[in-house]
Amino acid sequence: MNGWTSALRRGIGSLRKVSVFQWFLFVLMTLLAMFMLLPIVYLFNHALKPFYELFLYPPTFIARNPTIQNFIDLVVVTQSSVVPMTRYLFNSFVASFLVVLTSCLFSVLCAYPLSKHKFPGKGIIFSGIIISLMFAPEMVGIPRYFVISQLGIINTYWGHVLPLVAMPVGVFLMKQFIDQIPNELLEASKVEGAREHMIFLKIVIPLCMPALATTAILSFQSAWSTDETSTLFMENETMKTLPFFVNTLTNQLANNVANQGAAAAAALLLFIPNFIIFLLLQRKVITTMMHSGIK
C-alpha cells in the first residue's frame, strides 16, 4: 500500500513540471480512462448489488448496500444441480494452469533453436508459424474436433489443454526476444564448457523472462476465457469450465433481467484472475513488446 501511495505522490510531484499541453492531455486521458473502465466498475457494483437493487427504476450504477449475496447464490443455486459451480471453477483453474505451463515451456523451447541454431527446415517452420499467426484457429474448429476425437481425448483435461498449447504468437514474441541476446554471450559460455541445456536454462530462460511473462498472460487469457473447448470437446457436464457455465447463465439474458446478479458475480469471477495476472506481469509485457516487432 505504501508503495502505491508513494508512487502516486511521485507521479503527482512530477506533474508540477509539465506543460499546458500535458495538463490538457492529462485531463483528457483521465476522462477517457474513466470511460473505458466504466463497464468494469459497473461489473463490480452489479455483482455486489442486493437483489432488490438490480431491478430499481431508474437503474442505479453504484451499489448502495453492497452484499456478497450474489456469490452465495451462485454457489448455493448450483449446489443442488448436478454440477456445482465449484466444479467448473476447479476445471477452469486446472486447465488454465496446465495451458500456461505447457505453452510457455513449448514456446521458449521452440524459439531458442529458431533464433540461435542453424538447421535444415528452420525457414519453413518459422514461416509456417508466421502464416499461422494470421489465421484464426476458430476457422478450423470443425476438423479440429475430428483430430481431438481421433486422439480419444474427448471428455478429458487433455481436450482442454492440448488444443491451446501451440501458441504461434508466443513462439514469435519469444524468438524476436531471443534474437536480442548477443551471440557472443552464448559462445563465451560454450567455450567455458556449458552444454546446450545449461545455456538454455541458465542464460536464455532468465533473459527472456519478460517474453515468458507476456506469453503467460496471453495464454492464460485465452485458456481462462475460452468456452470453445467446453462446447466442442466436452460432452460430460462435469468436465466443462467456468466460461461455459457463465455462458449458460447469460445466454437468455438479452432481454430479461432474471439471474443478472448471479451472472454478474460469475462474470466478475471470470474477470478478476485475468486482471490480477496482468497487474502482476504488465511491466514485463511492455519490455517484451519493445523487442517484438516483425523484423
Residue 69 near residue 51 (C-beta atoms within 8 A): yes
Binding range to another protein, per CB under 8 A, among 67-75, 77-85, 86-94, 281-289: 281-289
153 touching another protein, by CB under 8 A: no
Task: Work out how close the CB of 209 gets to another protein at its nearest, in angstroms, rounded to a whole number.
Answer: 16
User: What are the cell numbers at 121?
Assistant: 527446415
Q: Among residues 75, 125, 194, 203, which is the contact residue for another protein, using CB under 8 A?
A: 125
Q: How many helices (H) and strands (E) does the chain have?
A: 16, 0
Select from 67-75, 83-91, 182-190, 244-252 the region that touches another protein (CB under 8 A). Answer: 244-252
Pattern 8-27, another protein, x by CB under 8 A: --xx--xx--x--xx--xx-
Q: Least Å distance between CB 9 and another protein?
A: 10
Is-contact 259 247, C-beta < 8 A? Answer: no
* b/e 112-148 (16+ beta carbons within 10 angstroms → b): bbbbbeeeeeeeeebeebeebeeeeeeeeeeebeeeb
Among the listed residues 32, 68, 76, 198, the single contact to another protein using CB under 8 A:
32
DSSP state string for 278-291: HHHHHHHHHHHHHT
Binding another protein by CB under 8 A: which of 146, 191, 192, 235?
146
Query: 35 to 54, contacts with another protein by CB under 8 A?
Result: 36-37, 39-40, 42-43, 46
